[in-house]
Amino acid sequence: MDLFVVLLYAVAAVIWGLASFNMLRHELHMFQQSGYRPVRYARRVAAKPTDLLPYLALILLSGIGRWMYDTPWRYLGVAVFGVGAVIAGVAKEPKQAKKPLVWTARAKRLFITSAILLVATAVLCAVLMPRYFEEPWNGKAFCVVGCVSALMPIVLCIACAINAPMEHRINQGYINDAKRILAGMPNLTVVGVTGSYGKTSVKNYLAALLGAKYMTLATPESYNTTLGAVRTIREYLKPTHEVFICEMGARQVGDIREICELVHPRHGIITAVGEQHLETFGSRENIRKTKYELADALPADGKLFVNGDSDGIAAEPPKHAHSTYGLEKERDFRGEVISVSRKGTEFRVTTPSGESATFTTPLIGAHNVQNLVGAIACAYSLGVPLEDMRRPLMRMKAVEHRMQLIERGSVTIIDDAYNSNPAGAHAALEALGLFDIKRVLVTPGMVELGAREAELNREFGADAAAHCDAVALVGEAQTRPIYEGLVGAGFAKENIFVADTLQDAMKWVYSLGGEKVILLENDLPDNY
C-alpha cells in the first residue's frame, strides 16, 4: 500500500472520527433532554424524521463509495465516504440551545461507552477485513463503519443498556446516602408538592412564607425527580433545617411513590390534575392516580391541601382527609382577587375559621393568586400567622418563565414560556386579557399531550381569539391546529403571523408599534 493510499485512509479516518464526535454529542444532548429514557428518546427521534436525513446521506454515500471501490475510481470512493461523514458531522454541529448539554458524570460515562462501541467497530473492520478481502480498510470496510455511525441513536441506546447496571448501583449508593441523612433528622418536617402544573410556583411561594418562622429548604429550580431530591438532600440539607419542601414531578405511574418512599412527606399539596404529559401517562386517570400517590404516602395525622378549583381533582378527590383551596366560595381556604394591574395583584384570603386578610403581590393574574392561596393554606396550618405573610407576599417574585412580568419601556412581556399546559395556557390568556393595551400572543403551541394534542391546541387557538389582538405562531406544522382554532373563532387572518423561528415572530410583533403587552406562551425544548 503506497503512501498516497495510507494518507487517504488516514484523512478519511480523521474525518469519520470528528463527524462521529459531533453526531454522538448531538444525540447525547437529545438523550439527556429525554431523561435518559430510551423510549422517550425514540419517540422524539420518530417525531422529527428530518433529523435523520444527515444519517441517511451518510449511509447512501458510504454505499456509493463501496460500489466505486470495485471500479477504476476506487480511491475516489473513499473520498465520497468522507463527504458523507462531513455532511453528517456538519449537520450535527452543536448549535445554540435553550438548555445546553450538561456534561454530568452520567453523560460522560454514556459518551465514553458509545465511543468505545464505535471505535471497536472500526478496529474490528480493520482487523477482520484482511481475512476476507485483498487489503485492510477497503471500500467495504468504510461502508460498514459509515453505516454504524449513521445508526448513532441505536448505538446510544445500546450503550445505555450496557451502562444500566452500573448506573443503578451508583444511583442506589446516592439514594442510600440521602436516606441516611434524613434518618439523622427525625424532627425534620417534609412537605411534598406535586401536580400537573403550578407545583414549582407553589413550592417557591411556600418556601418564602414558611421562611418567616422556620429554617426552610426547598428543592431548587425544577429538581423534581428522585435523583433531584437526592442531590438536594446530599448537597444542601443541613442539621439546622426544620422544614424540607420537596417538589415531586412525574411522567409515569409510580414516580411520585418512589420519591415519597425516599423523603417520607408528613404534609402535602396537590396543585392540579390536568392534561399534561399525556404522551407518557396514556390517560388522565393515570395522571390522577400518580398525583394521588402523594396523598397515599401521608401519615394519618398528615395535612393534605388540594386545589379544589382543578376539575381533575374536583371530579374525584383523594380519599385522604384534605383541605381545599382556590378561588371558589366553597373552598376551605378561599382567595378573592380584588384588583389586577401592571404593578401586581391585590387579593383577600379567608381561612376555615373565618379569619381573613388582604394582601398585595407583584405577581399578576388569578392563576398566581390560586397558587399563592395554596401556599398560604399550608403555611397557615403549620403555624405562620397571616400577618407575618404580608412582607414575603409583597416581595414575592415570579418563578422564571412562569408568568414572569418583564417591563421594557412601552412593551410589557409576560414570560410564561416554561412547559405550557391547557389549564395554564387558559389562565395566562385570561391574565393577558386584563390589559387595556394591544395584546399579543407568541406561541409554538403545546406538546406532550398525546392523541389529544391537535384537539387541545385547536381549543387553545379558539380561546386565544377572545383575549388577543394579534397572534404570532412559531412553526407552521406544529401550530396549524392553533391557526384553525383562531380562524374558526372568527379571528382576523391579517392579525395572525406564522413564523419559522421565535426571532422572526418577535420581529413581527415589534413591528406592530405602539404600547403593547406580549404573552410568551411555551417554548419547545431542543429535542422538538
Distance CA 152, CA 41 (A): 12
Rg (CA), the chain: 27
Q: What is the pLDDT of residue 528?
A: 41
Q: Which secondary-structure segment (H or E) carries 416?
A: strand 411-416
**How do 516-521 and 438-443 pair as beta strands?**
parallel
pLDDT values of the chain reduced to their tens digit, one per residue, 528 residues = 567 767 877 887 888 889 999 999 999 998 988 888 888 888 778 877 888 888 888 888 888 877 776 677 767 777 887 888 888 888 888 776 667 888 999 999 999 999 999 888 877 776 666 555 555 445 566 677 778 888 899 999 999 999 999 999 999 999 999 999 999 999 999 999 999 888 998 999 999 999 999 999 999 987 899 999 999 999 999 999 999 999 999 888 899 999 999 999 999 999 998 776 666 677 888 899 999 999 999 999 999 999 999 989 998 999 887 899 999 888 999 999 988 777 788 999 999 999 999 999 988 878 889 999 999 999 999 999 999 999 999 998 876 777 777 877 788 888 887 766 777 788 888 888 878 889 999 998 887 777 778 888 999 999 999 999 999 999 888 899 999 999 999 999 999 999 988 889 999 999 988 889 999 988 754 444
Measure CA 96 to chain center. 17
Distance CA 156, CA 323 (A): 47
Distance CA 382, CA 247 (A): 18
Distance CA 349, CA 333 (A): 7
Q: List, in order, residues 6 or more apart from 385 with CB less than 8 Å away.
A: none
User: Which cell numbers in the block locate residue 455?
Assistant: 384537539
The model's pTM is 0.75
- Among residues 293, 302, 297, which one has the least CA distance to residue 321? 302
User: Which cell numbers in the block locate residue 3?
Assistant: 503512501
Q: What is the pLDDT of residue 48?
A: 77
Start-to-end C-alpha separation, the chain = 47
Distance CA 504, CA 438 (A): 19
Domains and CATH numbers, the chain: 3-166 (no CATH), 184-394 (3.40.1190.10), 404-521 (3.90.190.20)
**How do 323-326 and 216-218 pair as beta strands?**
unpaired
Q: What is the pLDDT of residue 283?
A: 80
Return the residue matching grid coordinates 443498556: 161
135: Cα within 13 Å, side-chain hemisphere: 11
Q: List, in order, residues 6 or more apart from 158 with CB less than 8 Å away.
A: 117
Q: Is 67 helix (H, G, I), strand (E, B) or coil?
A: helix
Residue 477 CA: distances (Å) to CA of 468, 492, 503 = 21, 20, 17
Q: Torsions phi, psi of 221, nearest 5?
A: 45, -125
Long-range CB contacts (within 8 A, 24+) of 308-315: 308/332, 309/370, 310/195, 310/271, 310/272, 310/273, 310/274, 310/423, 311/274, 312/196, 312/272, 312/273, 312/274, 312/284, 312/287, 312/288, 313/270, 313/272, 313/273, 313/288
Q: Is 61 helix (H, G, I), strand (E, B) or coil?
A: helix
User: Which cell numbers in the block locate residue 510?
Assistant: 415589534
> Amino acid identity of 143?
C
- Among residues 218, 209, 216, which one has the least CA distance to residue 388? 209
